Amino acid sequence: MDKVVLDKFDSALLKAVADLDNMPTGAFSLRRNGQPVKVNITPNINIIPKKDKPGIDIYVRADTKGETVHIPVVITESGINDVVYNDFYIGKNADVIINAGCGIHNDGCNDTHHNGIHRFFLDEGSKVLYVEKHYGEGDGSGKRVLDPVTEVHMGKNSSCEMRTTQIKGVDSTIRTTNAVIGDGASLVITEKIMTHGDQLAETNFKVDLDGFDSKVQVTSRSIATENSTQKFVSNVNGNNQCFGHVECDAIIKDHGKVISIPEITANCVDANLIHEAAIGKIAGEQIIKLMTIGLTESEAESEIINGFLK
């Protein structure tokens, strides 16, 4: 296997988005500056490059347990507009972790874009933990733009947990997630977002609870600071006996702005759907309490924010 040489920017981005110090063992696919760099497979996980468009098909064999697939993307060149299509086929009763994420380092004057179009097909009884981190850095005037699109198709009694994080350096993002949930299947989505400056972050969730006893739990925690704007839109359709719970908690600072738009539709008398939203500033008594143990106001505020996003 040819050795992949990473420069200091590649390494820093891999650490930020995938917590990797080096190339991982096991199944992985590394994409750099809009091009595939390296693919590795295992007996239970096959990764096949698409022939008709950029991207890969990932096949996880039935009954696979305890394996992780890493599919990080790093971009260090200014002006790239990268779109990649990745499809995941999870076999019956498999249980795997998928670690994704994109890091952009932009020191130039041109905007850099990465759009990951991901589709998940979970067979009966399968289980997936999907972890995705987005991160941006660089001293250039060009923007760092990430617009991920995710589709989830869940078979009978399957389970999927998605943890998405955007904490720093992304100037603009529109995140779109659509899910169709089958009988007895369960989807849990947790997103954490922090924006600053003039950044924009928009999240759009649409979930169809088609299956008998299907479930979805969506939790969004976000902090909008300075002049940044966030928008959270959720659309949950209960089409059978099912349970859906959507929660949006946001903190605003400075001139930050947060918009939350819920839509829940019960198309079945046995659909149980809940939406909760809370938006506000950090409570003054929380800051005062921490200041009494010796923290400055700024330190107290940082502790509260860190705890909120954990």
| pLDDT tens string 198-243 | 999 999 999 999 999 999 999 999 999 999 999 999 999 999 999 9
Q: What does the alpha-carbon distance between residue 202 and residue 248 come to, in Å, rounded to a whole number?
A: 13
Q: Are 207 and 242 in contact (CB under 8 A)?
A: no
Residue 57, both tokens: 């098909």
The tens place of each residue's pLDDT in the chain, 310 residues long, gives 456 677 888 888 988 898 887 777 899 999 999 999 989 999 999 999 999 999 999 999 999 999 999 999 999 999 999 999 999 999 999 999 999 999 999 999 999 999 999 999 999 999 999 999 999 999 999 999 999 999 999 999 999 999 999 978 999 999 999 999 999 999 999 999 999 999 999 999 999 999 999 999 999 999 999 999 999 999 999 999 999 999 999 999 999 999 999 899 999 999 999 999 999 888 777 788 778 888 888 888 888 887 877 7
3-state percent breakdown (helix, strand, coil) of the chain, nearest 5 = 10, 55, 30
Cα→Cα distances 181→88, 175, 214, 218, 263, Å: 16, 19, 6, 14, 17
pLDDT score, position 3: 63
Length of the chain: 310
Tokens standing for residue 236: 């949950």
Whole-angstrom distance, CA of residue 198 vs CA of residue 192: 18
Query: Please, are residues 183 and 211 in contact by the beta-carbon 8 Å criterion?
Result: yes
| pLDDT value at residue 245 | 97
129: enclosing H helix or E strand: strand 127-137
**What is the pTM assigned to this prediction?**
0.92
Choose among 50, 48, 49, 64: nearest CA to 97: 64
Count other C-beta atoms under 10 Å from residue 144's C-beta.
27
Angstrom distance (rounded) from CA 66 to CA 96:
6
Domain boundaries defined on the chain? 8-283
Rounded alpha-carbon distances, angstroms, from residue 230 to 5, 49, 158, 249, 307: 38, 35, 32, 12, 20
Q: Are 77 and 113 in contact (CB under 8 A)?
A: no
Q: Which residue has the tokens 């990764």?
A: 47
The per-residue pLDDT for 8 is: 86
pLDDT digits (tens, 9 = 90+) for 231-244: 999 999 999 999 99
Distance CA 9, CA 258 (A): 32
pLDDT at 298: 84
Identify residue 67 by its one-letter amino acid code.
E
Token digits of residue 273 = 């759907």
Question: What single-letter DSSP state applies at residue 143?
Answer: -
pLDDT of 1: 42
pLDDT tens digit sequence for 265-308? 999 999 999 999 999 888 777 788 778 888 888 888 888 887 87
